[in-house]
Chain A
Amino acid sequence: MNQTARPSSKQFVFSECPGSACLRYTIGKMIDITIVGAGVVGSLIARNLSQYRVSVLVLEKENDVGDVTSMANSAIVHSGYDPVPGSKKALYNVEGNAMYPALCRELDVPFGQVGSLTVALTEAQVDVLNVLQKRARENGVDTSILSADEVKAMEPNISPEVKGALLCPSAGIVNPFTLTSHAMENAIDNGVSLHLGEKVVDIQRIGDHFTVKTDRKNYESRIVINCAGLYSEEIAKLIEPIDWKILPRKGEYYVLDHYAPGLVNHILFPLPSEKGKGVLVTMTTSGNYLVGPSSELTPDKEDFSTDSLTLEAVKEQAAMMVPKIPFREQIRVFSGVRATPSTHDFIIEPSKKYQEFINVAGIESPGLVSSPSIAMHVVDDLVAPILKLAKNPSFGPEVRKYINPQMMSLEERNELIKKDPRFGQIICNCEKVSLGEIMDILSRSLPCRTIKALKKRSRAGFGKCQGGFCQSSVLLLLAEYYHVSPLDVLYDKNGSQILCKESK
C-alpha cells in the first residue's frame, strides 16, 4: 500500500444508511417530483410536497442538507421594508415573514421576533428613513421612525452620532441550520426520499418525462424543481439556453461568543445601498453576536475563504454604528456565497420549453425569510396545475420535539436523566450539549454523518474552544453509530477526514 497517500475517501452510501428513508418505489418506476438541491428552499419545497400523495426525491451533492448558502448567511428573518415594491422579493419576503412563527413552532426551530433598527447616522440619512418608510408602507410592512433619544434608550451601545432609526418590529432571527435540517427531517418523516452526496450531472427530456442522471445512477421524473442555489444556472442550462446568470457574491462575517447579553437588543442595519443591506450587528438565536457581511462579487462559486483586509473593513463599518464591539470575543470568521441573480429579482418560473421543469433560482437575500412562501407558491401555483395533488392522510406537520435540557428546570432534567442517563453526560462544554441530545439527533430520519452536520444540528463545537474539547468525542460517536472506522469520519466534504492513519 502506498503509505504516503491519504486513505481514499470512503464514500458513504447515504441512501442505504440506517435511519434514512430509502426510495419507496423500485428503480425504473416514475418519480413524481425530483428536487435538485437541499438548501433551505429545496428542503421546504420537499416538506410542502410531503403533504400530498406524490413521490419526491431530493438530490443533494453535498454530504448534508443546507451546507452551502443556507448555512452561511446573516440568519435574519427580514421584515420586508427594503425590496422594491411589486418585486417577487417584496412579495415573498413579507408573506414569508408572516409564516415564520407557526413554521418554527411546527419544526421546533429557534426563532425570535426581536425587531430591526435601520440606523441613520447623519441628518441626510434621516431623510432616507422617510423614503424607506414609504417603501415599507407600499410593501405592507409596519414601521415607525424613532428619534435619536429613543434609539439610545433601546440600544445603549449605539453610536452617539445616531440621528434616528426605522424600527421594523416584525424582523426576527432564526437558526438557519435547524430550519433547513428540521424541514428536511419532517419531509422524510412524511415520505420524501433524500440522497446526500449525489450530484446531478445531466437532465434530459425523454417523452413525457425527464431522465435525471447523477454521478451514481439515473432517475425518471415527471417534474424537476431546480433549487440548486449557486449552481441553479448550470442545472437550468441542461434543459435550454437561459437569459439569466448567477453572479456569486461573497459575504464575510465575524462571530462573537455569547459572553454577555445586551451588546445589541435588535438587529441593527446601516442604510441599505445597491450592494445590499450593509454590515449588520445582531444577536443570534444562540446568544452569539454576528457582525457582517462584506459584499464582493467572486468568480468562484466554491470560494468560502476569508481575508484580513475585507474583515478589517467590516469591523470599521460596524464600529460606525456600534463603536464598542468587543472583537476580543471573536470565536470565528466565515464567509458565505450568495446566489445573486443577474435579473435582480428571484427567478421562480417554469422553463420556457417545459412547464414540468421549474427553476427556483437567484434566491439571494431576503431568501431565507422568503423560503416558506416560495415553497408554498411553487407547490400551489407551479406544481398543482400539472400534477394531481391528493392529500397525504398520514402527513404530520411537526418534527418530533427536540429535547433541550438547558431549557428545563433541574427537576425536569433529573426526570429525563432517570429515563435516559445520557442526558446527564455533557459532550460539548462550551455549548452544554449532552450525549442524549446527540444520540437523539443521530437516531432521526435525516442522516447526520459528518462532524459538521452534527455541529449544525446540536451546536457541539460551536463555542469558543471551536471543538478543541469535544471534536474527538463527536468523531468517535459518529464512527461507532455508523459502524465506520474513525479514519473514515468526515468533517464535511469528501476528503475532509480529520484522522489519516493509526499511530505506530
Chain B
Amino acid sequence: MMVGKDLLIIGGGSAGMAAAVAAYDRGVKDILIVEKGPFLGGILNQCIHNGFGLQEFNEELTGPEFLTRFVHQVEDRKIAYKLNSYVSDISPDKVVTYCNMVDGYVEVKAKAIILATGCYERNAGAIGIPGDRPSGIITAGQAQLYLNEYGYMVGKRVFILGSGDIGLIMARRMSLEGAKVLGAAEIMPYSNGLNRNLVQCLQDFGIPLYLSHTVSKVVGKSHLEKVEISEVDEKLQIIPGTSTSFDVDTLLLSIGLVPYNDLLIKLGLPPSRTKGANVNEHMETDIDGIFSCGNVLHVHDLVDNVVAEAKLAGVSAALYLGGNLPRHNEVIACLPGDGIGYVVPEEIDRANADDTIQVKFRVKKPSHDVFIEYRFNNEIIKRIYKTAIVPSEMEVDNIPKKILKNNQGTITISLKQREVK
C-alpha cells in the first residue's frame, strides 16, 4: 500500500524531533517520524551524564531529560511517529519504504523528506587493529549501551583507544562502577574530546592520556588479555621499540563517528567531505525537497548544535512545502581552504538565503593566534581573530548576506597564522 505524507522524517532522535517540531510550528501538520529504535530520542537514551541543553534550554540536563522535553513537544503537537520501524528504501521521487511488525512494509509518498539518521561509531574492523581477534574490544558507545540501558559492565580493567568524547565519558562511568581504567591513547598529538571531558573524566580520575600513541597490538585468544601501545611519528607511523603493555580485559574504542549514510547511497547522492550529504544553506540536499540535518550530515559535538541545525531543516521543509523555496541556477560554493577540514553548507543560494547565513566548520588541527579568513571570489570579506581553535569543537559563524556582492562565485574559509611583527 502507498500512503501520502507532506513531511516524512527519517530518524526520531534529537535531530528528527527538533526538525518535526520546527516544521509543525511553521504550519506543516501532516508529518510522520520513522524511528528504528523502541523509543524516541536516539542515542540520548543511553547518555545518562549531564551537560546537555545549555544553549537550547539554558540549563544543564542529562540526555534522557533533554530528549524527554522534545518528546513532550512532539506529543503536545500530536505529531505522528512510528517506533521499531526501519527504513529499507528511499527513492529520489520521495517514496520511502519502511517496515515494522504491525504495519509490515509500507510505502510512503512524501512531498518532503528530512534525513536525520545519525551516525555510527568507527570500529576495530575499520582501522584494522593489529593482533588477535578476541572479544573485549568494543566501541565506547556499545559499552555505554550495555551499561546504561541493560545494566551490565563489559570489563574490569580497561584501556581506551582514541580520545573522543564517548570514550572519555565511559572512562569516568566505568571508573565509578569500580573498573580500573589504565589509560587512553590518542594517535594525534592533541585530544579529540571536549576540554571539559578531558578535565572531568580523565584528569579528575587520574587516568593518563598518551598523545601521539596508538594500539600497536592486541593479545588474547578468546578474550582480550593485553594491549600494547606505541608512540607514533609525525606521519602517524608506529615507532618501533616504543611499546608499553597493559594487562586489560577491555579495549574501548572512541575513534570517531561516521554519518550513517546508507540512504544517501540509495538516493544516488555522493557523500561529501563529512561522508554526509552536500547541502545548501537551507539544509537541502541536491534533490529538491530532501533535507538532511544532525549527525548524518556531519558529526556534532553538542546536541544543542544538532537541534539548531534540525530546526533550520524543519523550517526549510515548511518553506519548501509552501512553495517558498525555489531553486535558482546561480549558487555560491562554500569551500574549506587551508587548515579547514570541512564546511557546512557547501552551497549557498543567495537569492533564497536569509539575511545572515550560518556556516559551520572544523579546523584540521589545534592552532593558536590565528585568523579565520573568509574570501569571496578571492576578496577578503571577513576576518575573525582566535587566540585558540581546536578540531574537537565545531565552529559556528554567520555571514551577513549583504557582504556577498553577487549571486555566484566561491567563498573560501581558511585559517591564517597571525603575522608577528
Contact = CB atoms under 8 A, between A and B. Distances in A.
Given A466-B123, A503-B177, A498 B86 contact: no
Contacts of A304: 132-133
B130 A424 contact: no
Nearest to A424: B101
A493 interface: yes
B222 A307 contact: no
B321 interface: no
Given A468-B142, A491-B135, A492-B135, A425 B101 contact: yes
Contacts of B100: 424-425
A372 to B, nearest CB: 29
Interface stretch (B148-156, B290-298, B344-352): B148-156
Interface in A456-498: 464-469, 471-472, 476, 486-487, 490-498
B132 A472 contact: no
A349 B102 CA distance: 57
A421 B101 contact: yes
A204 interface: no
A80 B131 CA distance: 34
B120 A465 contact: yes
Interface stretch (A17-25, A273-281, A409-417): A409-417
- Contact size range, A: 35 or more
A501 interface: yes
A330 B131 contact: no
Contact of B130 (A305, A414, A498, A501): A305
Nearest to B145: A472
Given A413-B99, A413-B105, A496 B152 contact: no
Contacts of B97: 410
A422 B101 contact: yes
Interface string A316-336: 000000000000001111100
Nearest to B134: A496
B353 interface: no
Interface string A264-308: 000000000000000000000000000000000000001011111
A471 B149 CA distance: 14
Contacts of B223: 6, 495-497
Nearest to A334: B133
B125 A332 contact: yes
B72 interface: no
Contacts of B153: 499-503
Contact of A493 (B139, B151, B222): B222
A194 to B, nearest CB: 21
A446 interface: no
B154 A500 contact: yes
B319 interface: no
Interface string B122-150: 01111010111111001101100111011
B88 interface: yes
A119 interface: no
A332 B238 CA distance: 20
B121 interface: yes
A304 B153 CA distance: 27
Contact of B121 (A4, A468, A487, A499): A468
A282 B146 CA distance: 36
A259 interface: yes
Contacts of B128: 254, 306, 308, 311, 330, 332-333
B377 to A, nearest CB: 32
Contact of A492 (B99, B104, B222): B222
Given A472-B146, A504-B177, A417 B104 contact: yes
Contact of B155 (A260, A429, A500): A500
Contacts of A99: none
A468 B120 contact: yes
Nearest to B107: A410
Given A6-B223, A413-B104, A426-B86, A500 B249 contact: yes
A502 B151 contact: yes
B249 A305 contact: no
A305 B99 contact: no
Given A472-B145, A503-B151, A331 B125 contact: yes
Contact of A259 (B126, B130, B249, B265): B265
B109 interface: no
Contact of A417 (B101, B124, B150, B155): B101
A255 B133 CA distance: 15
Interface in A1-34: 4, 6
A4 B156 contact: yes
B88 A499 contact: no
Given A305-B132, A429-B36, A468-B121, A486 B104 contact: no
Contacts of B146: 472, 498-499
Contacts of A503: 147, 151-153, 177
Contacts of B265: 259-260
Contacts of B156: 4, 6, 500-501
Contacts of B142: 467-468, 471-472
A418 B120 contact: no
A504 B130 contact: no
A465 B262 CA distance: 12
Given A426-B99, A465-B120, A471-B142, A497 B135 contact: yes
A88 interface: no
A424 B104 contact: yes
A455 interface: no
A426 B105 CA distance: 11
B363 to A, nearest CB: 22
Given A486-B152, A503-B151, A417 B135 contact: no
Name the residue in B97, B121, B123 with the highest tally of chain A Cβ atoms < 10 Å from its Cβ. Answer: B123
A432 interface: yes
Interface in B75-116: 84, 86, 88, 97, 99-105, 107
A467 B143 CA distance: 12
A414 B104 contact: yes
Contact of A414 (B105, B147, B149): B105
B123 A468 contact: yes
A425 B101 CA distance: 5
Contacts of B402: none
B328 interface: no
B196 interface: no
A4 B147 CA distance: 18
A305 B36 contact: no
B103 A424 contact: yes
Contacts of A330: 125-126, 128
A501 B153 CA distance: 5
Among B105, B121, B177, B238, chain A packs the most CB atoms within 10 A around the CB of B105
B27 interface: no
A465 B150 CA distance: 20
A490 B141 CA distance: 20
A498 B125 contact: no
Given A306-B131, A476-B150, A502-B153, A496 B99 contact: no
A16 B271 CA distance: 51
Contact of A466 (B99, B102, B124, B249): B124
A494 B222 CA distance: 7
A199 to B, nearest CB: 14
A468 B36 contact: no
B4 interface: no
A498 B141 contact: no
Contacts of A467: 142
Given A259-B265, A331-B126, A468-B139, 15 more contacts: A307-B130, A331-B125, A413-B99, A413-B104, A417-B104, A417-B105, A424-B102, A424-B104, A424-B105, A465-B260, A466-B125, A469-B120, A493-B221, A495-B222, A502-B153
8 contacts: A304-B132, A425-B84, A426-B36, A465-B121, A468-B141, A472-B146, A496-B134, A502-B151
Ranked 4 nearest A-B pairs via Cβ: A332-B125, A493-B222, A426-B86, A491-B135
Interface of A: 4, 6, 254-255, 259-260, 302, 304-308, 311, 330-334, 410, 413-414, 417-418, 421-422, 424-426, 429-430, 432, 464-469, 471-472, 476, 486-487, 490-504
